[in-house]
Structures are given as structure tokens and as C-alpha cells.
Amino acid sequence: MSDKIYDVIIIGAGTAGMTAAIYARRASKTALMIEAKTYGGQIINTPAIDNYPAEPGISGYDFAVKIFEQAKALGADIVYEKAVGIEDGTIKKVKTEKGEYEGKAVIIACGSENRKLGVEYEDMLIGRGVSYCATCDGMFFRNKKVAVVGGGNTALEDALYLAGVAETVYLIHRRDKFRGDDLTASLLSKRGNVKFVLNSRVTKLIADKRLTAVEVTDNKGNTTELEVSGLFVAVGRVPENQPFSDLIELDEAGYAVSGENCRTKTPGVFVAGDNRTKEVRQLVTAASDGAAAATEAVKYINAREDI
Ligand code: NAP
């Protein structure tokens, strides 16, 4: 709780949120980040980032600490509370599980969560063979056998990416037809090291400290074991937009509908990073959204004479 009225309240302290805080502070606006877990967001568990300019190989943790320290040094505040809603008004109120915070503009940047498979030991094996990001972690599986599970574009693109890295890629999908683009599916079918495992689900993870195999059960109940050291789970993401759905328009997958300016249907409420509709969900685009959303928020505040 705080009696202060912040210029910009940012829900989420991942790459998008922390970048927004940096931009808000550099425009001399007060900024509060409200973070439900730890700062850093999705990238925090990635061992090495190789696709962010100027920082090849940096760990997700070090990357997060660097942005956080930059935001803090500029004077951004942070509280660790879960935001549960926004009340619109001339001054907006962000409700948390513990209280509420007032701000002139709000940026929603709390990201999305990976949809889990829901099989036993899945959480325990994250970073020990189980991954939710092929472009982040694929290189650790060079010349090894891996599996991708899912049938959407992410799974197809992950499989195609991994086909260029791994020895063998099993693509496991619960239906006989992929939901993702036919073109990508057709490219995959021409890759000699990609094997489709259709009408099947991953029913068990087998591990000896690290993942060693997955048990797959087909729609007729037959089980087989695939020896793999990596399992890339690509069964969709769940954006954390529901608490704010009265103020923002959501698409059918739950993403907040917005363009590059990060505006929403509610003036003074912006959305950045993985919360919003976009083609490329990567660190670099999260940072870019943070900059755009904060710049728009500053413009919004400066244009209003009543706040
Ligand atoms: P998605 O399209 O929602 O696909 C998720 C896939 O996971 C579906 O095939 C679904 O199966 C399967 N699935 C869901 N829960 C499962 C479970 N518990 N166990 C096993 N399988 C499960 O998600 P996405 O692939 O991450 O894509 C999200 C959005 O981004 C889509 O609109 C996609 O087109 C877009 N995208 C676009 C591009 C591109 O244009 N280059 C790249 C990536 C993503 P069912 O098919 O049976 O439902």
C-alpha cells in the first residue's frame, strides 16, 4: 500500500515491465512495478541467451539483474504483490491481493505462463531436459535426440528449428492433423530427422537426474518409450490478462489486442510484452514494447491537464 499517486504503474517486472520503468524514469515520471513473483520474468531460468544483441551468452538471471539494477538506479520502485485488477478513473487504481496503488497510467506487462502438460515430474525436470523454449535451449541438445509436444505453429516451428540442431526430433501431437500451418508441416515432413508421433500423448517422463525418455500413449492405449534427452513442451501459453479483461479487449487466445503503440481500448491503460497480440514473442520485442508503452504512457499523462 502507498498513499503516493504514481505517474506510471507497471504490472509485471519482466523484460517489458522493467524496460518500461527505465523509460518512464528517464522521462522524469515516477514509476512503480508490481510483481507477483520475482523480477526478471520468463527469462530468469534460461541458462544462456544468445539472441539478444550485444549480450551473447549472458544467463537469464544476469540479464534480469542488469535491467533491474538499471531501473532501480533510475529510481523505479517495486513491490512484490499480485495484481488482481484495475479500477479505471482519472486516477487509476491497481488492486493487489494486499491493497491498492494509484497511478495516472498503467502498463500491463505481467506476461503469460506456459501451459503445462500436467505430467508427473514436469516442474522438477525444467532445466534438466524439459524446456518450453526451443530457441532458448535448443543448442544444449546438439546432436541429441529430442521430442517436441504440441500441434500448433510454435510446436511446428520449434521442431523445424530443432531439426537443424538435434540428431532426431520426435514431434508428438494428440491428433492426426496439426493445428499449425500446412507449409511448415510439409517442410517438416521432408526433414529426414523429424519423426511424427501422431494421435499420441506424453504420459510419463522418465529421468535419472535428467530426462532420459518419455512414455507416449496413443489413442488406442498402446504405450511406447522414446529415448530423448530433451522434451520441448509447446502446447500453448496462457496470457495473464483475465484480471484486467474489463478494460482491455482480448483475442480468442486471451492476448490483449493492441498494436505497436501498446494502447488498449482504455485510455491510459497500455499493454506490453507477452500480454499483447504480436507475431514475435522474444526478449528483444518485450524490451521494445516496454519502451513503446512507457513512451505512450508519458505522452498520455503530459497531454492530460486534469492529472
Ligand atoms: P496453439 O496454437 O494454441 O497450439 C497449442 C497446441 O498444443 C495445439 O495443437 C493443442 O492441441 C496442443 N495442446 C494443448 N494442450 C495440450 C495438452 N495438454 N497436451 C497435449 N497437447 C496440447 O499454441 P501455439 O502453437 O503456441 O501458438 C499460439 C498462437 O501463436 C497461435 O495463434 C499461432 O498460430 C501463433 N503463432 C504463430 C507463429 C507464426 O505465425 N510464425 C509462430 C508461433 C505461434 P489441439 O490441436 O488438439 O488443440
155 lines ligand 1 (CB under 6 A): yes
Could you tell me the distance, in angstroms and rounded to a whole number, from the CA of residue 237 to the centre of ligand 1?
8
Burial code (b: 16+ CB inside 10 Å, e: under 16) for 54-64 equals eeeebbbeebb
Q: What mean pLDDT comes out for the span 288-300? A: 98
Do the Cβ atoms of 241 and 248 come closer than 8 Å?
yes
Q: Beta strand 112-114 with 223-227: parallel, antiparallel or unpaired?
A: unpaired
Q: 286: Cβ–Cβ under 8 A, 6 or more apart, which residues?
A: 14, 15, 16, 19, 41, 272, 273, 274
Could you tell me the distance, in angstroms and rounded to a whole number, from the CA of residue 14 to the centre of ligand 1?
23
Spell out the domains of the chain, with CATH numbers in brackets.
5-113+237-303 (3.50.50.60), 116-233 (3.50.50.60)
Number of the ligand 1 atom closest to the C-alpha atom of 237: 26
pTM for this model (two decimals)? 0.74
CA–CA gap between residue 235 and residue 301 (Å, rounded) = 39
Q: What mean pLDDT comes out for the span 273-300? A: 96
176-229 confidence digits (pLDDT tens): 999 999 999 999 999 999 999 999 999 999 999 999 999 999 999 999 999 999
What are the φ and ψ backbone dihedral angles of 129, each rounded to 5 degrees?
Answer: 125, -30
In this prediction, residue 47 has a pLDDT band, given cuts at 50, 70 and 90, of: low
Number of the ligand 1 atom closest to the C-alpha atom of 180: 34
Could you tell me the distance, in angstroms and rounded to a whole number, from the CA of residue 252 to the centre of ligand 1?
12
239 lines ligand 1 (CB under 6 A): no
Q: How far is CA 128 from CA 50, 154, 159, 243, in A?
A: 19, 21, 19, 33
Q: How far is CA 96 from CA 99, 146, 212, in A?
A: 5, 41, 42
153 lines ligand 1 (CB under 6 A): yes
CA–CA gap between residue 148 and residue 203 (Å, rounded) = 14
Residue 45 pLDDT greater than 80, yes or no = no
All three cell numbers of 218? 496413443
Residue 272 pLDDT greater than 70, yes or no = yes
62-79 confidence digits (pLDDT tens): 999 999 999 999 999 999
Catalytic sites, residue numbers: 133, 136-137
In this prediction, residue 153 has a pLDDT band, given cuts at 50, 70 and 90, of: confident
Mean pLDDT, rounded, of the chain: 96
Could you tell me the distance, in angstroms and rounded to a whole number, from the CA of residue 85 to the centre of ligand 1?
27
Number of the ligand 1 atom closest to the C-alpha atom of 151: 9
175 lines ligand 1 (CB under 6 A): yes
152 lines ligand 1 (CB under 6 A): yes
Could you tell me the distance, in angstroms and rounded to a whole number, from the CA of residue 148 to the centre of ligand 1?
12
CA–CA gap between residue 74 and residue 125 (Å, rounded) = 37
What share of the chain in percent tops pLDDT 70? 99
Could you tell me the distance, in angstroms and rounded to a whole number, from the CA of residue 306 to the centre of ligand 1?
44
Residue 138 pLDDT greater than 80, yes or no = yes
All three cell numbers of 196? 511424427
147 lines ligand 1 (CB under 6 A): no
pLDDT at position 136:
83
Residue 46 pLDDT greater than 80, yes or no = no
pLDDT at position 204:
98
CA–CA gap between residue 36 and residue 42 (Å, rounded) = 13
What is the residue with the minimal CA distance to atom 16 of ligand 1?
235
pLDDT at position 141:
98
What share of the chain in percent tops pLDDT 90? 90
Q: What mean pLDDT comes out for the span 117-140? A: 94
112 lines ligand 1 (CB under 6 A): no
pLDDT at position 131:
96
CA–CA gap between residue 68 and residue 76 (Å, rounded) = 9
CA–CA gap between residue 226 and residue 212 (Å, rounded) = 9
All three cell numbers of 62? 544476469
Give the three-state DSSP class for 79: strand
pLDDT at position 1:
62
Residue 6 pLDDT greater than 90, yes or no = yes
% helix / strand / coil in the chain, to the nearest 5?
30, 30, 40
- Give the angle 76-82-84 at the CA atoms, nearest 5°: 115
What is the residue with the minimal CA distance to atom 2 of ligand 1?
152
Q: Is the dihedral of CA 282, 283, 285, 286 positive or negative?
A: positive
